Structure 1
C-alpha cells in the first residue's frame, strides 16, 4: 500500500470555495489502475490559515507514479481552481509506503 498526501494552507475566508472546487471536480481516479480511495481532510484552524490534506491510497508506489504521468492526472489538474488568494503557498506533497498492514 502507498499513500500520497498533499498539505494545503488555505486562507480562512476561502475554505468554502476550496471545498466546493474539490466536491465538484472530476477526479478521473476510478479509471486509474491501482487506485484504492481518496479523502479530503480538514484540519486545525490556525491564526492565518486552515490546514487541509488530500489523501489518496494506492496499491503501490508504481501505481501512483503511473497516475501522475497519465492523461487522467492531466485532465483532473486542468480544471478550474479556487479564487486567487485561496492558497497560502504551494501544497506540500508527502508520500508513505506501508511497512505493516492488518
Structure 2
C-alpha cells in the first residue's frame, strides 16, 4: 500500500471556498488502476489558518506514479494554478509506503 498526501494551509477567510472547490471537483481517481480510496481531511485552525490534507491510498507506489503521469491527472489538475490563491504557498507533498497495516475485525 502507498499513501500520498498533500497538505494545504488555508486562511480562515478562504476555507469555505477551498472546501467547495474540493467537494465539487472531478478527481478522475476512480478511473485509475490501483486506486483504493481518497479522503479530504480538515485539521485544526491555528492563528487564522486551517490545515487540510488530501489523502489517497494506492495499491503500491507505482500505481500512484502512473496516476501522476496520466491524462486523468492532467484533467483533474488543469485549473490548479487558478486556485492557488485559496491556499498559502504550494501544497506540501508526503508519500508513504506501508510497512504494516491491519484493520478492525468484523463484528456481528
Q: Same fold (TM over 0.5)?
A: yes
Aligned residue in 2 for 1:64: 64
Aligned residue in 2 for 1:27: 27
Structure 1 residue ranges (4+ consecutive) displaced by more than 3 angstroms after TM superposition:
79-83
Over the residues paired in the alignment, what is the CA RMSD in angstroms?
A: 1.3
- Deviation of 1:48 after TM superposition, in Å, equals 3.5
Aligned residue in 2 for 1:10: 10
Which consecutive unaligned segments of at least 5 residues does structure 2 have?
A: 103-108
- CA deviations on 1:12-68 (whole Å, 9 max, x unpaired) are 101010000001110001110000000000001010310000000000000000000
Structure 2 Cα separation of the partners of residues 83 and 12 of structure 1 = 15
Aligned residue in 2 for 1:90: 90
Aligned partners of 1:49 and 1:88 also within 8 Å: no
Which consecutive unaligned segments of at least 5 residues does structure 1 have?
A: none
Q: How many residues align?
A: 101
Secondary structure of 1:101's aligned partner: coil
Aligned residue in 2 for 1:75: 75
TM-score, scaled to structure 2:
0.88
